[in-house]
Amino acid sequence: MCRRPRPPKQRLILAVLLRYANKAVSSDLLIDALWGGRPPRSA
What's residue 1's pLDDT? 59
The domain segmentation of the chain, as residue ranges, is 1-35
CB-CB contact of 21 with 7 (8 Å): no
pLDDT surpasses 70 at 2: no
Confidence at 16, pLDDT banded by 50, 70, 90? very high
Give CA–CA dist 27/43, Å, rounded. Answer: 9
Instruction: Please provide the DSSP assignment of 11-38 as one string.
Output: HHHHHHHHHTTTS---HHHHHHHHHTT-
pLDDT surpasses 80 at 28: yes
Confidence at 35, pLDDT banded by 50, 70, 90? very high
Output the pTM of the full model.
0.72
